[in-house]
Amino acid sequence: MFPKKLIAAMASFVVIAAGIGLAEATPPSKPNILFVIMDDVGIDQLSAMGYGGQTPPKTPAINEIAESGIRFRNTWSMPECSNGRMALLTGRYPFRTNVYQAIGQSDLANSQVSPYDVTVARMMKQAGYRSGFFGKYHLGGPENNQAVNGGPGQLGWDYFHGWIGGLPASIDTTAGGVGQSGTYKCGYVPSVARQMSTEGANTGACYIRNTNNRTRCQKISGDTLGDSPGLACLNLGGILVPNASCQANPPGNLDFQRQNAHYVSPLVINRGTSVSELSVTDPRGRNYRSSIEVNAAIQWINENKRGSAPWMATVSFSADHTPLQPPPGHLLSPATRQKLATTMGSPMGSPIKFGTDCTNQVVQRILSDAMIEAMDTELGRLLISTGLARKNNVGQLIYEPERTNTMIVMVGDNGSLGTTVKLPFDAMRSKASPYQTGIWVPLQVSGPMVKQPNRDVPHLVSAADVYGLFAEAAGLDPHKASRPSTIDSSPLMPYLRDPLQSAIRTFNYSEGGLNIQKNGAHNGPCVIGRTDDAVGTCSQTPINKGVCEDNGGVWWGEGATDPSVTPVNTGVDECWQVNQEIYGSLDDPDTYPGTYNDVKVGQAPQIYYTARDARFKFIHSEWKDYDPDAVGVATSYYLDELYEVNESKDPDDLKLDRDGDALYISSNAVENKELDPVDGAAESMQALQNYLAELRATQPSCQGDGNGDRVVNLKDVQDYWRTVRTWTGSSTFDFDYNAVTDRNDLQTIWANIPSDCRN
């Protein structure tokens, strides 16, 4: 006999499926899983988590999921995209994976997901799950990776539909070749009323490529749901020729090969180990990214609902990552469309004159809210189209988890970008930093296994714990299922099942730094925020010149073109050398330290890690800078800080790690501060330092271990030979980091046999 609850669940699934015209199979006893990753959406953005500033983005779908489940209000991820995703999808901290920052085209395989890692897809396969991945991958490749664009299939996902490198390209300011570079700063031809010059158009010929690479044309006139003809054409995958009529042959200047941020990208599709690399002209990659991601997920989920195996779908949204662009108007509420029009469409003479400039920081704040709202709209469509939710007679989303056999998990991969941060959070200590605004993320879990929904869990949680939650849902022990990898997951399922569950974690951890590149190189320097009134900060986080400029920075690395950079074109290799150049450019360097201290740029930490307990937070940072008294070499600096933090929803009571609020400072770069006499601070600081030392000691160096099992033996020799039979580029067996896997690396294995690096 089936339990009554199971019979009810089966009946619910049949009813839901009938509503969308599907023949639903009997649901598996193990829950299906919908895993949603939001890009650069920190906890500060969402009203569902108690924040969102004075004007939070409209997120009815996210709010509905939060009210139907539980909100983990004290979740830490890592400071950037790739290391945050590694924690979520492999359950491992960066010092175990060597993924310390966003993976770029120069990072070696040693700082990418390893082909030997037990990803969540591989782990869930042990419990019979089918897995699909949709959207932004950003775990490794295609550069310096044997799998190239086939990483998801190699690492266990049955189906992948998205972008391997992950990052949206820069905005195409030519709008497909119809204007000069720099003309259209949002990537499309705006309406006349929305342009502060004569470059706009209220009508035009929209040329669209089909799958046979043939071009059709349609005339577009006037705004539709807030979209100018140029934006409407772009969302159709086309290029608008302004103020023109359709011709039999498209103009010769149209360039369908140009990528354009969130609207034009070359898609990659993996069906198991089969890889399809679609051209940028393929219409499947010429649409708004959030829509592409959801379209693919809907199709895959509905196909897999017909089978008997449980499924796990990871929908990894590209929103709210830069470069920010207006979403299609049909994904936005009338109020948001009006707000965009007011901000971006101000005609000459209006009090607001930002114009259609997606690089303007005021515009970016409005765009960020709009992109999050559009993502939420598409999330709602995903839930309805797969039968996980419905709409009532007034169009309101109704999500009833007890009617499904599906667990929904929603999380941010890292904190918000500085230009989008909502008060009272700290925009100066945001994404790519170890401070709260950089690593504190929203996490919501809903499903029929949640007892007493619509509640908050205040206890410490890590992104690595989400990996373990999936194993728990599938009936697996995550630590056994992930062997030989060492994972950093603590249980989450007890919080779902027991509203009175006490804290499981005593400490939480996060870190960032620099990835491994050929012969010790690193990302080039990017100076952000330097103006006549501000010195700015140099960071080696942006992976290239385009990403630097997309985030409002000036590139000082190779290929530098900004007139403020010396030496132009060649640039410099590291951030400390930017200050060396600035010092050398002074008319009278002997005026140091006065003049130099006034103009030198700040230095973002290159190594940083942090830990906290229920009340206090300790941060350690390291960086290099130029010292004129030590000519030609970098001087190393460090900073240790202790803060008191909390999770209050009241802006007046919220305690963050803001500049000036440290209880303790020890540094060779700034003035030290003795520990404030706050009850428990001294004991916590000692406990946190001990925890950090013990945790980081659990991953000692293991030279010669290329397959990650922490043992150097003949299996490493065998795996080395399997690699070099078809690939001699960068691999996990490239122990000297020269981007070549060769006999020198084999010699390293033999020199270390036998070694056992396990604790």
Return the pLDDT at 759: 74
pLDDT in tens, 430-448: 999 999 999 999 999 999 9
Amino acid identity for residue 630 in this structure:
A
Better-predicted residue by pLDDT, 593 or 364: 364
Contacts of 624 (CB under 8 A, 6+ apart): 574, 575, 576, 603, 606, 634, 635, 636, 637
Helix (H) / strand (E) containing 622: strand 616-626
Helix (H) / strand (E) containing 267: none
| CA diameter of the chain | 90
How many helices and strands (H and E) does the chain possess?
A: 20, 27
Return the pLDDT at 344: 83
With tokens 């906890």, the residue in question is 43
Quickly state the pLDDT bin for 598 (edges 50, 70, 90): confident
Return the pLDDT at 629: 85
Contacts of 683 (CB under 8 A, 6+ apart): none
Residues 340-347: what's their mean pLDDT? 74
What's the CA gap between 431 and 239, in Å, rounded?
34
pLDDT for residue 177 is more than 90: yes
DSSP string spanning 378-446?
HHHHHHHHTTS-EE-TTS-EE--GGG-SEEEEEEESS---GGGPPTTS-TTS-TTSSSHHHHEEEEEEE
* Alpha helices by DSSP H, 551-649: 575-584, 594-599
pLDDT for residue 15 is more than 50: no
Contacts of 472 (CB under 8 A, 6+ apart): 478, 491, 492, 493
Name the token pair of 661: 């609020």
Residues 120-125: what's their mean pLDDT? 98
Residues 211-217: what's their mean pLDDT? 88
Quickly state the pLDDT bin for 347 (edges 50, 70, 90): very low
Residue 755: C-alpha distances to residues 231, 422, 483 (Å): 60, 50, 18
Quickly state the pLDDT bin for 171 (edges 50, 70, 90): very high
Name the token pair of 671: 């003035």
First to last CA, the chain: 48
In this predicted structure, which of 198-202, 351-355, 381-385, 721-725 has the lowest mean pLDDT?
Answer: 351-355
What's the CA gap between 551 and 542, in Å, rounded?
8
Residues 538-548: what's their mean pLDDT? 96
Q: What is the phi-psi region of residue 149: left when phi exceeds 0, alpha when psi lies from -120 to 50, beta otherwise?
A: alpha
Return the pLDDT at 564: 87
Q: What is the DSSP letter of 253?
A: T
Return the pLDDT at 6: 36
What's the CA gap between 383 and 396, in Å, rounded?
13
| 31-168+287-320+391-506 CATH fold | Alkaline Phosphatase, subunit A (3.40.720)
pLDDT for residue 223 is more than 90: no
Q: What is the DSSP letter of 264?
A: B
Quickly state the pLDDT bin for 199 (edges 50, 70, 90): confident
Return the pLDDT at 212: 82
What's the CA gap between 750 and 754, in Å, rounded?
8
**C-alpha of 397 from chain center:** 27
**C-alpha of 504 from chain center:** 27
pLDDT for residue 78 is more than 50: yes
What's the CA gap between 329 and 321, in Å, rounded?
19
Single out the residue of 282, 280, 267, 268 nearest to residue 212, CA to CA.
Answer: 282
Return the number of other C-beta atoms located less than 10 Å from residue 274's C-beta. Answer: 9
Sequence-distant contacts of 684-689: CB under 8 A, at least 24 apart: 684/613, 684/615, 684/616, 684/618, 684/642, 685/616, 685/618, 685/642, 687/507, 687/613, 688/507, 688/611, 688/612, 688/613, 688/616, 688/617, 688/618, 688/642, 689/618
Q: Enumerate the β-bridge partners of residue 746.
A: none
The sheet carrying 508-512 orders its strands as 508-512, 607-612, 616-626, 634-644, 664-667
Single out the residue of 352, 365, 169 nearest to residue 260, CA to CA.
Answer: 169
Where exactly are the structural domains of the chain? 31-168+287-320+391-506, 523-603, 607-696, 711-756
pLDDT in tens, 227-278: 999 999 999 999 999 999 999 999 999 999 999 999 999 999 999 989 999 9
Name the token pair of 668: 């060779």
What's the CA gap between 138 and 151, in Å, rounded?
10
pTM above 0.85, yes or no: yes
**pLDDT averaged over every residue in the chain:** 92
User: Under a CB-based contact definition with an 8 Å cutoff, are residues 196 and 353 in contact?
Assistant: yes
Residue 164: C-alpha distances to residues 79, 158, 268 (Å): 20, 15, 7
**At 11, is the secondary structure helix, strand, or coil?**
helix
pLDDT in tens, 604-631: 999 999 999 999 999 999 999 999 888 7
